[in-house]
């Protein structure tokens, strides 16, 4: 059985806390790090692993074992220099995926250039939504419509290619209601259930959030 993914969250402001809490509440292993001892002390009440440390120091990155983490989320948009250093050190340590929060498009370009795999704008994407997308591995995007219902974009799985919606029976197997089929920039809401799906097709579905675990 494959071990659960591990995460590290650098910077425990509102955004970082939201990401970390959502991941922890879904059973993920999370290391939460901030340079402010008071912030770390407060966060320790609901985050099991909190460290007060300077993540711009290569020795600290090594000591925390960050190189063994699957995904690092850098939530320090207010400190561009620290974000750049953290991303660089994480990549040098061998972290596969580094996601960084940014404040503007200029920061976005800089963070991508120094190695961030994904950059998010907090005004466009909440910390909770980012965490849900990370948890929903294999999904392109997920938007919560309510506490129980989500709209999700799903890549067509390899085993689905060459089949149509009638054959796949996604509603019966997963509780998915397909509301649109997307191919490239074209989105079709007039669904033909006999349309054969291929790897370039994306399904947009609405479902009870709990059903997403079935697909994983």
DSSP one-letter string for 97-164: EEEEE-SSHHHHHHHHHTT-SEEE-TTTS-HHHHHHHHHSTTEEEEEESSSSEEEEEEEPPGGGTT--
Q: Are 154 and 112 members of one domain?
A: no
Report pLDDT for 2.
43
Does a structural domain hold residue 58? yes
pLDDT value at residue 214: 67
The answer to the question of residue 160 being in a domain is: yes
- Give the model's pLDDT for residue 140: 43
Please identify, among 93, 125, 157, the residue that sits at the C-terminal boundary of a domain. Answer: 125
pLDDT of res. 22: 85
Contact 21, 52 (CB under 8 A): no
Coil, helix or strand for 37? Answer: helix
Domain co-membership, 166 together with 116? no
Q: Is 28 helix (H, G, I), strand (E, B) or coil?
A: coil
Task: With respect to residue 197, please indicate whether it lies within any of the assigned structural domains.
Answer: yes
For the whole model, what pTM was predicted? Answer: 0.62
List, for residues 13-54, the tens digit of each pLDDT value.
Answer: 988 998 899 899 888 899 999 999 999 999 999 899 999 999
Phi and psi, residue 43, nearest 5°: -70, -25
Asked whether residue 169 is domain-assigned, the answer is yes
- Check if the beta carbon of residue 107 is closer than 8 Å to that of residue 78: no
- Domain of residue 39: give its range: 6-125
- The Cα–Cα gap between 130 and 14 comes to 13
Instruction: Report if residue 130 sits inside a domain.
Output: no
Which pLDDT score is estimated for 139? 45
Let me know if 172 is exposed, middle or buried by CB neighbors in 10 A (0-12, 13-18, 19+). Answer: exposed
Given a contact cutoff of 8 angstroms between Cβ atoms, the answer to whether 100 and 111 are in contact is: yes
Specify the number of domains making up the chain.
2
CATH number at residue 191: 3.30.70.1450
**Secondary structure (3-state) at 64:** coil
Helix (H, G, I), strand (E, B) or coil at 176: coil
Which of 176, 131, 182, 119 minimizes the C-alpha distance to 149?
Answer: 176
The residue out of 125, 152, 174 marking a domain boundary is: 125
Residues lower than pLDDT 50 in the chain: 1-2, 124, 137, 139-140
Asked whether residue 134 is assigned to any structural domain, the reply reads no
**Cα separation of 33 and 205, whole Å?**
36
Mark whether 119 and 167 lie in a shared domain: no
pLDDT tens-digit map of 131-149: 665 655 454 455 555 667 7
């Amino acid at each position: 059985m494959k071990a659960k993914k591990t995460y590290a969250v650098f910077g425990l402001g509102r955004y970082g806390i939201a990401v970390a809490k959502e991941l922890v509440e879904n059973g993920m292993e999370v290391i939460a790090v901030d340079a402010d001892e008071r912030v770390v002390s407060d966060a320790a009440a609901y985050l099991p692993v909190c460290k007060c440390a300077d993540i711009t120091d290569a020795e600290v990155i090594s000591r925390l074992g960050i190189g063994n983490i699957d995904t690092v989320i850098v939530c320090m948009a207010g400190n561009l220099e620290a974000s750049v250093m953290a991303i660089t050190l994480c990549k040098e340590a061998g972290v596969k995926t580094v996601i960084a929060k940014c404040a503007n498009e200029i920061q976005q370009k800089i963070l991508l250039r120094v190695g961030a795999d994904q950059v998010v704008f907090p005004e466009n994407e909440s910390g909770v939504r980012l965490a849900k997308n990370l948890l929903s591995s294999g999904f392109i995007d997920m938007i919560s419509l309510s506490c129980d219902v989500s709209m999700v974009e799903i890549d067509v799985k390899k085993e689905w290619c060459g089949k149509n919606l009638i054959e796949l029976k996604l509603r019966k197997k997963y509780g998915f209601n397909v509301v649109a089929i997307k191919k490239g920039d074209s989105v079709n809401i007039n669904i033909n259930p006999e349309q054969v799906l291929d790897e370039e097709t994306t399904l947009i579905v609405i479902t009870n959030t709990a059903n997403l675990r079935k697909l994983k």
